[in-house]
Amino acid sequence: MSKEYETVIGLEVHVELATKTKIFCGCSTAFGGAPNTHTCPVCTGMPGSLPVLNKQVVEYAAAVGIATGCTINRFCRFDRKNYFYPDNPQNYQISQLYLPICQNGGISIETPEGGKKTVGIHEIHMEEDAGKLVHDEWGEASLVDFNRSGVPLIEIVSEPDMRSAEEVIAYLEKLRLIIQYLGASDCKLNEGSMRADVNLSVREKGSSEFGTRTETKNLNSFKAIARAIANERERQIDIIESGEKVVQETRRWDDAKEYSYPMRSKEDAQDYRYFPEPDLVPVIISDEWFNEIKAKQPELRDEKMARYKEQYGLPDYDIDIITANKKLADIFEETVSLGSSPKKVSNWLMVETMYLLKEKGMEPDKVTFSPANLAKLIKLTDERVINGNVAKEVFEKIFDEDIDPEAYVKENGLMSVSDEGELRAVIEKVIAANPKSVEDINSGKLKAMGFLVGQTMKEMKGKADPASVNKILKELLGI
Amino acid sequence: MSLMSLTAVELGKKIKEKEVSVSEAADAALEGIKNAEGTINSYVTVLSEEDIKKRAKEVQEGIDAGIYAGPLAGVPVAIKDNMCTEGILTTCSSKILGNFVPTYTAEAVINLIKAGAVIIGKTNMDEFAMGSTTETSCYGATKNPWNTEHVPGGSSGGSCTAVAAEECSYALGSDTGGSIRQPSSFCGVTGIKPTYGTVSRYGLIAYGSSLDQIGPVAKDVSDCAAVLETIASYDPKDSTSVKRDDYDFTSALKDDVKGMRIGLPKEYFGEGLDEEVKAAIFKAVDVLKQKGAEVSEFDLGLVEYAIPAYYVIASAEASSNLARFDGVKYGYRCAEYNGLHNMLKRTRSEGFGPEVKRRIMLGSFVLSSGYYDAYYIKALKTKALIKKEFDKAFEDYDVIIAPASPSTAPKIGESLSDPIKMYLGDIYTISANLAGLPGITVPCGTDSKGLPIGLQMLGNCFAEKKIIRTAYAYEQSHEYARCGICK
Amino acid sequence: MANVISDETIEYVGILAKLELSEAEKEQAKKDMGSMLDYIDKLGELDTSDVEPMSHVFPVNNIFREDVVTNGDDSKNILANAPEEKDGSFVVPKTFD
DSSP string covering A124-160, please? EEEEEPP-EEEE-SSSSEEEEE-TTTT-EEEEEEEPS
Band of pLDDT at residue A435, cut at 50, 70 and 90: confident
Residue C1 scores a pLDDT above 90? no
The mean pLDDT value of chain A amounts to 92
Compare A291 and A447 and report the one with higher pLDDT: A291
Candidates A39, A55, A141; nearest CB to C78: A39
Query: Has B80 been annotated as catalytic?
Result: yes
Candidates C35, C43, C60; nearest CB to B382: C43
Instruction: Please check whether residue B182 is in contact with residue B429, taking contact to mean a CB–CB distance below 8 angstroms.
Output: yes
Do the chains contact at C44 and B378, CB–CB below 8 Å? yes
The Cα A464–Cα A414 span in angstroms is: 9
pLDDT recorded at residue A431: 86
pLDDT recorded at residue A414: 84
Do the chains contact at B239 and A49, CB–CB below 8 Å? no
For residue B125, what are the CA distances in angstroms to A339, A343, B331, C49, C86?
75, 77, 18, 39, 34
Candidates C16, C75, C96; nearest CB to A269: C16
Residue A1 scores a pLDDT above 60? no
* A105: Cα separation from own chain's centroid: 21
Residue A249 scores a pLDDT above 60? yes
Query: Has B179 been annotated as catalytic?
Result: yes
Q: Over chain B (487 residues), what is each successive 10-residue block's mean pLDDT?
A: 94 98 98 96 98 98 96 98 98 98 98 98 98 97 97 97 98 98 98 98 98 98 98 98 97 97 96 95 98 97 95 98 98 95 96 96 96 96 97 98 97 86 90 98 97 98 98 96 85
Is A472 in a helix, a strand, or coil?
Answer: helix
pLDDT recorded at residue A270: 81
Candidates C62, C70, C79; nearest CB to A284: C62
For B442, phi and psi rounded to 5 degrees? -125, 150
Band of pLDDT at residue A389, cut at 50, 70 and 90: confident
Q: Name the residue among A55, A25, A49 with its Cα closest to residue A38.
A: A25
Q: Which residue of A has its CA nearest to B205?
A: A48
Candidates B210, B332, B378; nearest CB to C48: B378
Tell whether B244 lies on the interface with C, counting CB pairs under 8 A: no
Residue A380 scores a pLDDT above 60? yes
The Cα B343–Cα C92 span in angstroms is: 9
Domains in chain A with CATH codes: 5-289 (no CATH), 299-411 (no CATH), 420-477 (1.10.10.410)
Q: Where are the beta strands (DSSP E) in B53-169?
A: 76-80, 118-123
Edge-to-edge strands, sheet with A92-95: A92-95, A79-82, A275-276
CA geometry: angle C68, C69, C70, nearest 5 deg: 110
Q: Which residue of A has its CA nearest to C73?
A: A37
pLDDT recorded at residue C97: 47
Candidates C68, C91, C97; nearest CB to A143: C91
Q: What DSSP character marks residue B128?
A: G
For residue A392, what are the CA distances in angstroms to A335, A351, A381, A388?
17, 11, 10, 6
Which residues, in sequence order, are CB contacts of A445 under 8 Å at separation 6+?
Answer: none
Contacting residues of B for C53, CB less than 8 Å apart: 377, 380-381, 383-384
Query: Has B114 been annotated as catalytic?
Result: no
Using alpha carbons only, how large is chain A's radius of gyration in Å? 30
| Whole-structure pTM value | 0.91
CA geometry: angle A10, A14, A19, nearest 5 deg: 150
- Secondary structure (DSSP) of C10-30: HHHHHHHHT----HHHHHHHH
Q: What DSSP character marks residue B235?
A: -
Do the chains contact at A84 and B326, CB–CB below 8 Å? yes
Mean pLDDT across A268-287:
93
Tell whether A288 lies on the interface with B, counting CB pairs under 8 A: no
Q: Which of B80, B122, B383, B465 is catalytic?
A: B80
Rounded to a whole number of angstroms, the distance from the CA of C2 to the nearest CA of chain B is: 15
Q: State pLDDT tens for residues A352-363.
A: 999 999 999 888
SS3 content of chain B, % helix, strand, coil (to 5): 45, 15, 45
The Cα B472–Cα B183 span in angstroms is: 19
Q: State pLDDT tens for residues A106-156.
A: 999 988 888 999 999 999 999 999 999 998 777 789 999 999 999 999 999
Residue A11 scores a pLDDT above 90? yes
Compare A471 and B481 and report the one with higher pLDDT: B481
Contacting residues of C for B104, CB less than 8 Å apart: 77
Do the chains contact at A84 and B368, CB–CB below 8 Å? no
For residue A389, what are the CA distances in angstroms to A332, A374, A386, A464?
22, 15, 8, 11
Residues of chain C numbered 41-60 and touching chain A (CB < 8 Å): 55-56, 60
Tell whether B84 lies on the interface with A, counting CB pairs under 8 A: yes
Mark residue C81 as left, alpha or beta (left: phi above 0; alpha: psi -120 to 50; beta: remaining). alpha
> What interhelical angle do C7-17 and B354-367 show, nearest 10?
100
Q: Comparing A154-163, A257-266, C27-36, which segment has the lowest mean pLDDT?
A: A257-266
Specify the amino acid at residue B37.
Answer: E
Contacting residues of C for B461, CB less than 8 Å apart: 57-58
Domains in chain C with CATH codes: 7-43 (1.10.20)
For A74, phi and psi rounded to 5 degrees? -70, -20
Tell whether B104 lies on the interface with A, counting CB pairs under 8 A: yes
Rounded to a whole number of angstroms, the distance from the CA of A204 to the nearest CA of chain C is: 33
Half-sphere exposure of A206 (CA within 13 A, CB side): 2
* Residue B241 placed within a domain: yes
Look at strands B213-218 and B170-175 and give their pairing: antiparallel
Do the chains contact at B319 and C82, CB–CB below 8 Å? no
Is A110 in a helix, a strand, or coil?
Answer: strand
* Burial (CB count within 10 angstroms: exposed 0-12, middle 13-18, buried 19+), residue B180: buried
**Which residue range forms the structural domain that includes residue B455?**
3-261+397-486
Q: Which residue of C has its CA nearest to A34?
A: C88
Is A162 in a helix, a strand, or coil?
Answer: strand
Q: Comparing A163-172, A386-395, A421-430, B310-319, which segment has the lowest mean pLDDT?
A: A421-430
Contacting residues of A for B328, CB less than 8 Å apart: 86, 89, 144
* Residue B274 placed within a domain: no
Contacting residues of B for C40, CB less than 8 Å apart: 308, 311-312, 366, 375, 379
Residue A418 scores a pLDDT above 80? no
Contacting residues of B for A41, CB less than 8 Å apart: 103-104
Q: Which residue of A has its CA nearest to C53?
A: A276
Contacting residues of C for B343, CB less than 8 Å apart: 92-93
CATH of the domain at B229: 3.90.1300.10
For C15, phi and psi rounded to 5 degrees? -65, -45
Is A404 in a helix, a strand, or coil?
Answer: coil
The Cα A155–Cα A332 span in angstroms is: 32
Do the chains contact at A82 and B323, CB–CB below 8 Å? yes
Q: What DSSP character marks residue B185?
A: H
Rounded to a whole number of angstroms, the distance from the CA of A54 to the nearest CA of chain C is: 5
Structurally, how many domains does chain B consist of? Answer: 1
Mark residue B329 as left, alpha or beta (left: phi above 0; alpha: psi -120 to 50; beta: remaining). alpha
